[in-house]
Amino acid sequence: MGGIVIVGAGQAGASLAAKLRALGYAGAVTLIGEEPQPPYQRPPLSKAYLLGEMELERLHLRAPAFWQEQGVTLRLATRVEAIDTEARTLRLEGGETLGYDDLALTTGSRPRRLPAAIGGDLENVFTVRTLSDVDRMAPAFRKGARALIVGGGYIGLEAAAVAAKLGLQVTLIEAAPRILQRVAAPETADFFRRLHAGHGVRILEGAALSRLTGEVRVTGAELADGTRLPADLVIVGIGILPDTRLAEAAGIALENGIRTDDLGRTSAPHVWAAGDCASFPRGEGRIRLESVGNAIDQAEAVAANMLGANTPYRAKPWFWSDQYDVKLQIAGLNAGYDRIVTRAGEGGALSVWYYRGATLLALDAMNDARAYMIGKRLIEAGRSPDPAAIADPATDLKALLG
């Protein structure tokens, strides 16, 4: 057989390979990625890299020499066409067959795209997911160009911020009644709406896209209410989907991603999954997390379990977003909240605390690292301070940890 093979050379795949070696695994490790680049960071792509503030080499998760030193075989620009879970083999593009003792699927996610029928395949219509995506869109980011952002989630808002910083005329449309509707409280949405307005971004909420216009290259958009918007480029930020295509074709069970148990095992023997593509048990239900933190932590847990640790993965969700000079840090998961407490910080900082009944679920901290760190520790410890104490500006947050 072929040792451990990892399909997907993003954050999760790279973390899993590195952890196997750190834990002393001496067998063959092969990391397969479709892109020609060695594993790299994705979050800076649409921010520092597009702004020209980060060079390509700094995107790499590890220096290229690391993989050779660790005895990890990188198979880049390589597409896996099929998995045979009974024979324990992969068929690669071109017909090559590769065997494995254990297989890890870290295939990540792929962006939702607009249908071709409404103009999704016109030139200068972009998604933001890979290095090649950003390299393709960079020439269109000319000062004064008219940029239309479709989607008012964090992906769309980050794209709007970069476009505005580069001097483009930016309009963002969101079909829902408000931006960030699925992921954040109205108070957080209000903060970011004001922030973007202050940088000249026009935000249209409750504005459903009917179609993009143009013959070959996009020239604008028509909304459901008949409004027409001119555009020299369009960035589509309407979410991502777990990349489960290989697993599904192989008959591996899916449930909002590749279904795993709490150790990371899939329904197929000797096949594991981690990162954006994997759903796992949490509490009474299941969850799939799209974050760098989860990709690292879950992949490292799966690496240990592949080597026999038999330790259930317990996620500690955290996320972040950078827009202009604001760093948003999120701890916990706000699903099911029924009460919001806001707390003003210094210099315009703000934190938004999510409660269900008396239980603290999550918080959003805008330029308030202190509130974030304390809130994160409270959530992870299962502690819920009195909401009145959080709202009181006289409360010393650190004392709540005592």
pLDDT at residue 50 greater than cutoff 90: no
Tokens in use for 396? 């010393």
Place of tokens 């952002």: 149
Q: In the predicted model, what is the mean pLDDT of the chain?
A: 96
Residue 343's closest CA among 401, 399, 400, 395?
A: 395
pLDDT at 402: 78
Q: Judge contact between 140 and 233, C-beta under 8 A.
A: yes
- In this prediction the pTM is 0.93
Percent with pLDDT over 70 in the chain = 100
Backbone angles phi, psi at 256, to 5 degrees: 55, 50
Look at residue 45 in the predicted model and tell me its pLDDT: 87
Q: What is the mean pLDDT of residues 201-211?
A: 98
The residue whose two tokens read 């899916």 is 254
> Is 280:261 a contact under the CB 8 Å cutoff?
yes
Please write the tens of the pLDDT for every residue from 162-186.
Answer: 999 999 999 999 999 999 999 999 9
Average pLDDT over residues 238-246: 96
**For range 188-196, the mean pLDDT:** 98
What mean pLDDT comes out for the span 58-73? 95
Q: pLDDT tens digit string along 108-144? A: 999 999 999 999 999 999 999 999 999 999 999 999 9
> Which residues 6+ apart lie within 8 Å of 104 measured at CB?
4, 5, 6, 7, 13, 16, 271, 272, 273, 274, 299, 302, 306
pLDDT greater at residue 201 or residue 55? 201
Task: Name the β-bridge partners of 366.
Answer: 328, 350
pLDDT of amino acid 352:
98
User: Is there a contact between 109 and 242 (Cβ–Cβ < 8 Å)?
Assistant: yes
Share of the chain above pLDDT 90, in %: 94
What are 309's two structure tokens? 């640790």
Residue 51 pLDDT exceeds 90:
no
Mean pLDDT to the nearest integer, 367-395 = 95
Domains of the chain, CATH where assigned: 4-110+240-306 (3.50.50.60), 113-236 (3.50.50.60), 325-401 (3.30.390.30)
Q: DSSP label at 172?
A: E
The whole-number pLDDT of residue 1 equals: 58
Q: Stretch 17-43: mean pLDDT, rounded?
A: 96
Say which residue the tokens 């939702």 belong to. 112
